[in-house]
Amino acid sequence: MNPRLALLLFALLVAAAIGVSVAVAYRDGVPPEKVWGKRGVQEGDFSRPRAVAIDHATGRMFVVDFTARIQVYDLNGTYLGPTWTTPDFRNGRPSGLSIGRDGTLLVADSHYHRVRIYDHAGNELKAMGGEAGTAPGQFGYVSDCVQDADGFYYVSEFGQNQRITKLDPDGRFVACWGGQGTGPLQFNRVRALALGPDGLLYAADACNHRIQVLTRDGQFVREFGSPGTEPGQFQYPYDLCFGPGGELYVSEYGNQRIQKVSAEGKSLAIWGKPGRGPGELNSPWAVGVDKFGRVHVIDTENHRVQRVRF
């Protein structure tokens, strides 16, 4: 028998004997295809990038950082421009980006209790919300917003309100659901939302270290994840994004890694570990997947983006 094959079979037998799962592939050794960005405040530089959105139709990538600058790149990290900021950011910077059904950019203007909608040139087309409070239609800290194919918006909040609000295509209040807690339909800092190919809404319930899955009418479907470092566990899931094959990629701020899971929560692969070199991460806030299945990781405290396939 080939010595390498014999060694692999022996390792698998040992793993099975001690109860170690070999189903999940750790991809720490997979090098990134591309590492780009550096710390700075010039165009094309980053200061702690914190959110990303990729327009599959145009191949444009939008990144916002802690200076409140929204910058536009291609999928290889080439700066395209323009760069713009939200009207006021003295209270804090936006923390969520997504692409609307018509290709517009949805910006969670977190500390100003609203969602702003921009075209690709940075022109503000519309704003929703703006009134702080706990009543229906008011917002606390707005962390993310996504739009479904029917035009409805879903806005996640924390701080004053641990909930998700649904708005109609004109931005009018439809419903809200959630509350502080650890049970179904209770949240502890929803950091991001994603709409799945199954038509369901996936919420990164960060401080509960789990993903909750809901219908678009706010009915609880399932949850998966628990605190920890093992496959299928999470430590502060800050962002999530579906790949073209229906797999879900989760950015774990606490575990310094990206985890690929099925829509039901089965861990499929893990990439990344703490550090500053290629393939290493330092507090990754966000993740985006392009139409080619390439994963773009917002490596926040390393002030850069890494692109990888795994």
Model confidence over 294-308: pLDDT tens digits?
999 999 999 999 999
pLDDT value of position 29: 75
Please state the pTM of the whole predicted model. 0.91
Please, are residues 63 and 298 in contact by the beta-carbon 8 Å criterion? Answer: yes
pLDDT at 279: 97
The residue among 294, 306, 303 whose CA lies nearest residue 243 is 294
- For 216-249, give one letter per residue: b (16+ CB within 10 A) or e: eebeeeebbbeeeeebbbbbbbbbbbbbeeebbb
Residue 271 pairs with which residues in a beta bridge?
A: 258
Residue 27 is predicted with a pLDDT of 76
Sign of the Cα torsion 269, 275, 277, 283 reads positive
Q: Could you give the CA distance from residue 71 to residue 84 in angstroms, rounded to a whole number? A: 7
pLDDT for res 28: 66
Using omega within 30 degrees of 0 as the cis cutoff, is the peptide bond preceding 82 cis? Answer: yes
pLDDT at 12: 40
CB 89 within 8 A of CB 77: no
State the Cα–Cα distance between residues 288 and 50, nearest whole angstrom: 12
User: Which tens digits make up the pLDDT trace of 59-109?
Assistant: 999 999 999 999 999 999 999 999 999 999 999 999 999 999 999 999 999
| Mean local confidence (pLDDT), 282-292 | 98
Per DSSP, the residues of 243-254 read -TTS-EEEEETT
3-state helix, strand, coil in the chain (%, to 5): 10, 45, 45
Neighbour tally for 28: CB within 10 Å: 13
Please say whether the beta carbons of 109 and 91 come within 8 A.
no
- Quick: pLDDT tens for 22-65: 457 777 679 999 999 999 999 999 999 999 999 999 999 999 99
Question: What average pLDDT does the segment 121-128 reach?
Answer: 98
